Amino acid sequence: TSQPAALGEAVERLRAAGCEVVVGTCPDLGTIRPVQPPLRWLARSWSRKLALLQSQAVTAAGGCSVPIGALLGPEFASRAELFGPDRFHPSVEGYSTAVSALLPTLASAAWRLTPRTAIAVAHLPHVVNADAVTTAGAVTTAGATDVDGTDADAEQVGAARLAATRAARAARAAQAVASL
Protein backbone atom coordinates (compact mmCIF):
# COMPACT_ATOMS: atom_id res chain seq x y z
CA THR A 1 0.00 0.00 0.00
CA SER A 2 1.02 3.62 -0.42
CA GLN A 3 2.17 5.78 2.47
CA PRO A 4 -1.06 7.86 2.53
CA ALA A 5 -3.18 4.68 2.45
CA ALA A 6 -1.17 3.14 5.30
CA LEU A 7 -1.50 6.39 7.24
CA GLY A 8 -5.27 6.39 6.68
CA GLU A 9 -5.49 2.79 7.92
CA ALA A 10 -3.52 3.67 11.06
CA VAL A 11 -5.81 6.64 11.72
CA GLU A 12 -8.88 4.41 11.25
CA ARG A 13 -7.53 1.91 13.81
CA LEU A 14 -6.80 4.69 16.30
CA ARG A 15 -10.23 6.28 15.79
CA ALA A 16 -11.89 2.87 16.21
CA ALA A 17 -10.08 2.60 19.55
CA GLY A 18 -11.60 5.95 20.61
CA CYS A 19 -8.53 8.12 20.04
CA GLU A 20 -8.52 11.63 18.64
CA VAL A 21 -5.84 11.78 15.92
CA VAL A 22 -3.88 14.83 14.78
CA VAL A 23 -1.36 14.46 11.95
CA GLY A 24 1.13 17.05 10.76
CA THR A 25 1.43 16.45 7.03
CA CYS A 26 4.65 16.37 5.02
CA PRO A 27 6.65 19.60 5.30
CA ASP A 28 7.72 21.59 2.26
CA LEU A 29 10.94 19.79 1.31
CA GLY A 30 11.67 22.56 -1.19
CA THR A 31 12.83 24.72 1.72
CA ILE A 32 15.94 22.60 2.34
CA ARG A 33 18.75 24.87 1.19
CA PRO A 34 21.41 22.30 0.28
CA VAL A 35 18.98 20.81 -2.25
CA GLN A 36 19.53 22.78 -5.44
CA PRO A 37 17.21 23.36 -8.41
CA PRO A 38 15.81 21.51 -10.27
CA LEU A 39 15.72 18.86 -7.51
CA ARG A 40 14.43 21.53 -5.08
CA TRP A 41 11.46 22.19 -7.33
CA LEU A 42 10.70 18.48 -7.58
CA ALA A 43 11.03 18.08 -3.80
CA ARG A 44 8.61 20.97 -3.26
CA SER A 45 6.09 19.59 -5.75
CA TRP A 46 6.30 16.01 -4.46
CA SER A 47 6.08 17.02 -0.81
CA ARG A 48 3.01 19.18 -1.49
CA LYS A 49 1.32 16.36 -3.37
CA LEU A 50 2.16 13.93 -0.56
CA ALA A 51 0.79 16.39 2.02
CA LEU A 52 -2.48 16.63 0.07
CA LEU A 53 -2.81 12.84 -0.12
CA GLN A 54 -1.93 12.50 3.58
CA SER A 55 -4.49 15.12 4.53
CA GLN A 56 -7.20 13.47 2.46
CA ALA A 57 -6.43 10.05 3.98
CA VAL A 58 -6.38 11.41 7.53
CA THR A 59 -9.62 13.36 7.23
CA ALA A 60 -11.38 10.49 5.42
CA ALA A 61 -10.43 8.27 8.37
CA GLY A 62 -11.82 10.78 10.88
CA GLY A 63 -8.58 12.43 11.96
CA CYS A 64 -7.43 16.04 11.83
CA SER A 65 -4.61 17.17 9.59
CA VAL A 66 -2.37 20.19 10.01
CA PRO A 67 -0.75 21.33 6.73
CA ILE A 68 2.79 21.87 8.01
CA GLY A 69 4.21 22.70 4.57
CA ALA A 70 1.53 25.27 3.73
CA LEU A 71 1.71 26.86 7.19
CA LEU A 72 5.46 26.88 7.73
CA GLY A 73 7.11 26.49 4.31
CA PRO A 74 7.61 30.22 3.72
CA GLU A 75 8.95 30.71 7.25
CA PHE A 76 11.42 27.83 6.93
CA ALA A 77 12.47 29.11 3.49
CA SER A 78 13.28 32.57 4.87
CA ARG A 79 14.84 31.64 8.24
CA ALA A 80 17.98 29.50 8.06
CA GLU A 81 18.08 29.26 11.88
CA LEU A 82 15.06 26.96 11.75
CA PHE A 83 17.38 24.27 10.38
CA GLY A 84 19.96 22.38 12.42
CA PRO A 85 23.68 22.03 11.73
CA ASP A 86 23.10 19.49 8.93
CA ARG A 87 20.86 22.11 7.20
CA PHE A 88 18.34 19.33 6.57
CA HIS A 89 16.60 18.59 9.88
CA PRO A 90 14.92 21.29 11.98
CA SER A 91 16.81 22.98 14.79
CA VAL A 92 15.35 23.25 18.29
CA GLU A 93 13.71 26.50 17.17
CA GLY A 94 12.46 24.78 14.01
CA TYR A 95 10.84 21.99 16.00
CA SER A 96 9.34 24.57 18.37
CA THR A 97 7.87 26.38 15.38
CA ALA A 98 6.39 23.13 14.06
CA VAL A 99 4.91 22.29 17.46
CA SER A 100 3.39 25.79 17.60
CA ALA A 101 1.56 25.00 14.37
CA LEU A 102 0.28 21.68 15.75
CA LEU A 103 -0.63 22.82 19.25
CA PRO A 104 -4.01 24.48 18.57
CA THR A 105 -5.33 21.39 16.80
CA LEU A 106 -3.91 19.14 19.51
CA ALA A 107 -5.65 21.28 22.14
CA SER A 108 -8.89 21.08 20.19
CA ALA A 109 -8.58 17.28 20.01
CA ALA A 110 -7.85 17.09 23.73
CA TRP A 111 -10.86 19.31 24.38
CA ARG A 112 -13.12 16.86 22.52
CA LEU A 113 -11.92 14.08 24.86
CA THR A 114 -12.36 16.11 28.05
CA PRO A 115 -15.57 17.35 29.70
CA ARG A 116 -16.04 21.03 28.88
CA THR A 117 -15.58 22.52 32.34
CA ALA A 118 -13.36 25.18 33.83
CA ILE A 119 -11.25 22.35 35.26
CA ALA A 120 -10.67 20.97 31.75
CA VAL A 121 -9.56 24.38 30.50
CA ALA A 122 -7.13 24.65 33.41
CA HIS A 123 -5.29 21.63 32.00
CA LEU A 124 -4.62 23.58 28.79
CA PRO A 125 -2.43 26.45 30.06
CA HIS A 126 -1.89 27.99 26.63
CA VAL A 127 -5.64 28.42 26.08
CA VAL A 128 -7.16 31.66 27.27
CA ASN A 129 -10.77 30.42 27.33
CA ALA A 130 -13.01 27.64 26.11
CA ASP A 131 -13.92 29.55 22.94
CA ALA A 132 -10.24 29.63 21.99
CA VAL A 133 -10.17 25.85 22.04
CA THR A 134 -13.28 25.35 19.98
CA THR A 135 -12.37 28.06 17.48
CA ALA A 136 -8.85 26.65 17.08
CA GLY A 137 -10.55 23.88 15.13
CA ALA A 138 -9.01 21.40 12.79
CA VAL A 139 -7.98 21.94 9.21
CA THR A 140 -9.81 19.64 6.85
CA THR A 141 -9.39 19.23 3.13
CA ALA A 142 -12.91 18.44 2.00
CA GLY A 143 -13.05 19.72 -1.54
CA ALA A 144 -9.40 20.77 -1.55
CA THR A 145 -8.06 21.26 -5.03
CA ASP A 146 -4.84 23.24 -4.88
CA VAL A 147 -1.36 21.73 -4.79
CA ASP A 148 -0.62 22.93 -1.24
CA GLY A 149 -3.06 20.40 0.16
CA THR A 150 -5.39 23.00 1.57
CA ASP A 151 -8.13 25.19 0.25
CA ALA A 152 -7.97 28.96 0.67
CA ASP A 153 -10.16 28.92 3.77
CA ALA A 154 -7.99 26.29 5.46
CA GLU A 155 -4.86 28.34 4.74
CA GLN A 156 -6.46 31.43 6.26
CA VAL A 157 -7.56 29.46 9.32
CA GLY A 158 -4.07 27.99 9.63
CA ALA A 159 -2.37 31.38 9.40
CA ALA A 160 -4.72 32.86 12.00
CA ARG A 161 -4.21 29.83 14.23
CA LEU A 162 -0.42 30.12 13.95
CA ALA A 163 -0.56 33.85 14.77
CA ALA A 164 -2.77 33.14 17.79
CA THR A 165 -0.38 30.44 18.99
CA ARG A 166 2.59 32.78 18.69
CA ALA A 167 0.74 35.52 20.55
CA ALA A 168 -0.16 33.08 23.34
CA ARG A 169 3.47 31.90 23.55
CA ALA A 170 4.67 35.51 23.81
CA ALA A 171 2.10 36.23 26.54
CA ARG A 172 3.26 33.17 28.53
CA ALA A 173 6.88 34.27 28.19
CA ALA A 174 5.98 37.77 29.39
CA GLN A 175 4.13 36.28 32.38
CA ALA A 176 7.12 34.11 33.25
CA VAL A 177 9.48 37.09 33.10
CA ALA A 178 7.09 39.22 35.18
CA SER A 179 6.94 36.53 37.87
CA LEU A 180 10.74 36.56 38.38
Give the pLDDT confidence of 18-45 residue by residue, as tens digits: 999 999 999 999 999 999 999 999 999 9
Q: Provide the pLDDT for residue 119.
A: 43
User: To 10 degrees, what angle do helices 92-113 and 68-78 make?
Assistant: 160
Convert 76-91 to b/e letters by CB count within 10 Å (16 or more is b): beeeeebbeeeeeebb
The answer to whether position 136 is within a domain reads: yes
For residue 153, being part of any structural domain is answered with yes
CA distance 134 to 53: 26
179 located within any domain = no
Give the domain range for residue 86: 3-140+149-172
**What average pLDDT does range 111-131 have in this prediction?**
49
Q: Which residue did the predictor score with more confidence, 70 or 179?
A: 70
Domain assignment of residue 177, yes or no: no
pLDDT given for residue 106 in this prediction: 93
Domain presence at residue 178: no
pTM of the model: 0.66
Q: Is residue 50 part of a domain?
A: yes
Length of the chain (residues): 180
% of the chain with per-residue pLDDT over 70? 62
pLDDT tens digits, one per residue of 50-60? 999 999 999 99
What confidence category does residue 67 fall into, taking pLDDT thresholds of 50, 70 and 90?
A: very high
Question: What span, in angstroms and rounded, lies between the C-alpha atoms of 100 and 23?
Answer: 14
Number of domains in the chain: 1
Q: For the chain, give me the number of helices (H) and strands (E)?
A: 7, 2
Residue 15 forms part of a structural domain: yes
Residue 59 neighbours by CB under 8 Å, 6+ apart: 65, 140, 141, 142
* Lowest mean per-residue pLDDT among 53-57, 116-120, 159-163, 169-173: 116-120
Does residue 13 sit within a domain? yes
